[in-house]
Amino acid sequence: DEEYADICYWSLKIIDYVIHNSDYEMTQIGATTKKWRTAGVSVLNLANYLAVNNLNYSTTESKQRIHELFERHEYFLLEASLRISKERGLAEWIHKTKYPEGYNKNVDKIADFTYKYDWMDLKRRIKENGGIGHSALSCEVPSESSSILANCTNSVYPVRSRVVVKTGATSKYFTMPPGV
């Protein structure tokens, strides 16, 4: 957890730096980007993670494992953004999001999962702070180009073939789940 928290902090810190130090050809896009401070830290290679642990997407055990992974991801991203907000200030338009309210218990209605982290304490700290430093923290997109560079499976999507062929502008990449 300590290492994951550190990775989340530095990932957001780098994104934050890029947001504030990039040259925007259209000044309004730059102004809006800086007011929202939208970050998108994703997870790659979930299919491989499940395969290595002899799990698939449909079992209760795999769903709990996925929940644990993403609970850690979201919790430490929120912690990191809270920390950054104390260093740099809140995202200017944070009041336009739900983040000042903290953790929404409606997420518990999705499934009966076991939670590891103290979400109520985190909610309290976010509310006391008036929100966090970013208007969005994570995104789970196909991440094709990132997965090519990392030579891994896409974000959260299941592998649909035993051999995955990925093509880039200059080359092809082949990935295979473990044990193939």
pLDDT at 2 over 80: yes
d(CA 18, CA 113): 36
| Collapsed DSSP state (helix, strand, coil) of residue 175 | strand
Question: What is the pLDDT of the chain when averaged over all its residues?
Answer: 82
Does residue 152 have a pLDDT over 50?
Answer: yes
DSSP for 10-74 reads HHHHHHHHHHHH---SSHHHHHHHHHH-EEEE----HHHHHHHTT--TTSHHHHHHHHHHHHHHH
Q: What is the pTM of this model?
A: 0.81
Mean of pLDDT values over 70-87: 95
Angle between helices 60-88 and 119-129 (to 10 degrees): 30
180 pLDDT more than 50: no
Q: Does residue 162 contact residue 150 with C-beta atoms inside 8 Å?
A: no
Query: pLDDT grade, residue 50 (50/70/90)?
Result: confident
| CA distance to 7, 57, 105, 112, 156, per residue, from 63 (Å) | 24, 7, 19, 10, 12
**Percent of the chain surpassing pLDDT 70:** 73
Encode pLDDT of 101-143 as tens digits: 766 667 677 667 888 999 889 989 999 999 999 998 887 766 6
Residue 175, pLDDT above cutoff 60: no
- Give backbone dihedrals phi and psi of 41, rounded to 5 degrees, phi first: -95, 115
